[in-house]
Structure 1
């Protein structure tokens, strides 16, 4: 197992899985190999196999705490949030000081809209581990939470002890200071938070600009596909923090629409297509009409939808609009737009869980935004009338007409719950989860 753990630590999940499986075969009654196998399968994005491995582990010991924690973690990734919360609550009665359980429970409650319960879990986490910046950032990331003076002082007192989570602590301090009108202090915290985060992730703006150049000059024409899919995806694209969650909440309030959140399926399919020396979008030119249709079918299979209307709100899919037009001609594309300064500064204040590393540097962030708008202008010109723009500011201040126009574009009849979207009860896994419920 040690070799498997070394391989997993190096990022070689394939070899790690081989070694973990050999360990389970050598001694199937040992629980540890099953736990390692399930953890690696979760990391690799194989939830069904991970579920099977965890079932084997729990058959050996139904009360095993780490196995139950892994199962709750698996459920969180599979949108079985209520089931995950139930497991975390049970675990908390046995280990009230486990930060992983407190974090998982708080996250589950936040996604379910149980704000006060989420706050209680996060506060308990921060009280037990005041040096953990993740606990304070979890409170700040509710977006509508106001830190008390005592909490603000605790963050300041423990900032020097927040090894590994200083960035998150600075982001939380930035928000706490901003809420108090201490804007210079707030901005300094945001600057330091982003500098620290940037050290952990790399981003080359020159490579991104080269990608945009290739997308702009690529020939996206193809033979029309006369086949029809019974499932209709609505892609909400744009920058992060541009209102994509709000638009999804509105659409998901319609009786005929299912909101699926930010799906990585399409991006994963593109990554699978790429080969050494041949990347997106040039690889698309190798696909004939049949292959393009099969790619669309693979997307729908990956999402797990065979019919009906659903929303995929992965903002970064703005890079894939041309591909969407080729493989899913029935899809609707909604473009979430927000004022550039408001949009970029909102990104700069956000500690993203993964990706979006361009947002941790103001210069790169502004260049990225310009390239995004450049590409969207090209898509709008190339596919006139088929990409619906929703201006965030207009939506917030005059929602009725904007929502009716959105529904009409998506071919949906008007339903009152779409206007009363804040009352819709559903799991929301994004930084805006609490804002859209206000």
Structure 2
């Protein structure tokens, strides 16, 4: 490599972007087809999250140097950032085919494949990355998460602990261990977590991770009031930053309700019979997905954004949001056949699925009328759970901070308002959408009457009964959701009516649910 580019790489590793940029341009002046220079410029640009420009630079790098595995891998990462998943997977596989040995490239391939939903394919690349550079905490963390998704919980714990041990400032490893490990009086991580919070609690993202882990530990130890107190502390900093507007949620739900009317009677010629499992998060969507995909005729595709992205690309609405009122309203004028075909092509292109599959993106509930119009053979299953348990479980969950659609979950009050809007929408859909294609499943009924609910769901999907669906916990497919540990266990009822343990602290949320008519008369304790 040109010595100027070696220096540029060093400067880039130290975030000395101006110096690195100047050195790369000097090298390109002498050799306009220098793939290494374009690669380094791509890294510099992606560091600034300008994925469109970085994608162009990496594409140029691999055009001039086709055997540059790292450039292919980084190109894949940028394509994923641009929501071009099928292309990203192709680029990642090209990188893998070149036999890379460096840890960064191996880890990057793993990240792309994981985020594309190809968890089993990703796992060996993470393992090789940690082998190539065992002293890098980030690689162990990524490997641990992949092991967790694969159900290898003990190996995941060990990898999370290696991550924490390698980086004294790490705030990810120990909290992750706690999230997948039952805390007891005899063995718990409360003291080290409290020390970690004292050191890093001023960072809103670190506070979220550590505080949520402390809340989980408190719950395990039978201390619900302490758990809610930690959640409030954990969320405060981030809540102050995001400026969540509940009115935006109201507008989005109203637009979703309108689509049931504007698309009434419309249909398309697209083929494909996917099963969409949706609803609010933490209400049993993963459980139902595991039940159904234990059937020989259904494959899990994960939580896909493909349908929303296909609609956004087709309508070309101007906002920077994939899902917004304007895009939902524009669905009435969309070419439904083209939309259905685009979705099916997107899923099959990147995941290589043939036959029927499930799409478990919770937010697809907002798109239910559009889905049914664009895919005439599709089925939509909406999960519901007790209103107070839904609010509590969403508030307890640490969602990805980059995903703004779940920003309601930073306060109990916002979560309760969101649930009330969701409740109103689902009631409308139950009246407006065809019952042979849209059905509501109550989480509590699945837990207490598994056999009858499984048979009803399979019948709804047009599938014969298979006993494997009752033994869903034996399903070995990866699970990349917050329920990755729970769904590998037989059904349990300990989560039913959990809200009762928190009732006093939940009063502001319960008042909102009461006012919206979401709670049954007499459910609350007398005050």
Query: Which one has a bigger Cα radius of gyration?
Result: 2
Identify if the C-alpha distance between structure 1 residues 150 and 242 changes in structure 2 by more than 3 Å, giving closer, same or farther.
closer
Match of 2:355 among 304, 308, 311: 308
| Counterpart position of 1:124 | 162
Q: 5 Å matches for 1:18-167?
A: 18-23=56-61, 36-47=74-85, 49-50=87-88, 62-129=100-167, 131-142=169-180, 144=182, 149=187, 151-162=189-200, 163=203, 164-167=205-208
Q: CA deviation at 1:78?
A: 3.4
Distance 2:57 2:338 in 1: 34
Moved more, 410-419 or 376-385: 376-385
Moved more, 143-152 or 42-51: 143-152
Q: CA deviation at 1:27?
A: 6.7
Identify if the C-alpha distance between structure 1 residues 206 and 411 changes in structure 2 by more than 3 Å, giving closer, same or farther.
same
Distance 1:60 1:257 in 2: 33
Q: CA deviation at 1:379?
A: 0.7
What secondary structure is seen at the aligned counterpart in 1 of 2:358? strand
Q: Does 1:432 align with 2:476?
A: no
Q: CA deviation at 1:269?
A: 1.7
Q: 5 Å matches for 1:4-403?
A: 4=42, 7-23=45-61, 36-47=74-85, 49-50=87-88, 62-129=100-167, 131-142=169-180, 144=182, 149=187, 151-162=189-200, 163=203, 164-218=205-259, 219-221=261-263, 224-225=266-267, 227=269, 229=271, 231-272=272-313, 273-276=315-318, 279-287=326-334, 291-304=335-348, 308-353=355-400, 354-355=402-403, 356-386=406-436, 387-403=438-454
What do you get for the CA RMSD once the two structures are aligned?
2.8
> Where do 5+ consecutive residues of structure 1 fail to align?
none
The CA deviation string for residues 205-242 of structure 1, in whole angstroms up to 9 with x for no partner, is 1122122223334533455547462x211111110000
Identify if the C-alpha distance between structure 1 residues 71 and 148 changes in structure 2 by more than 3 Å, giving closer, same or farther.
farther
Distance 1:15 1:366 in 2: 41
Do the aligned residues in 2 keep the contact of 1:144 with 1:434 (CA within 8 Å)?
Answer: no
Q: CA deviation at 1:244?
A: 0.1
Do the aligned residues in 1 keep the contact of 2:182 with 2:220 (CA within 8 Å)?
Answer: no
What secondary structure is seen at the aligned counterpart in 2 of 1:431? coil
> Where do 5+ consecutive residues of structure 2 fail to align?
1-19, 22-40, 320-324, 490-527
Identify if the C-alpha distance between structure 1 residues 352 and 145 changes in structure 2 by more than 3 Å, giving closer, same or farther.
farther
What secondary structure is seen at the aligned counterpart in 1 of 2:222? coil
Q: CA deviation at 1:108?
A: 1.4
What secondary structure is seen at the aligned counterpart in 2 of 1:261? coil
Distance 1:407 1:374 in 2: 27
The CA deviation string for residues 370-413 of structure 1, in whole angstroms up to 9 with x for no partner, is 11111111111102523222111121122111111111111111
Q: CA deviation at 1:36?
A: 4.4
Do the aligned residues in 1 keep the contact of 2:279 with 2:365 (CA within 8 Å)?
Answer: yes
Distance 2:88 2:47 in 1: 18
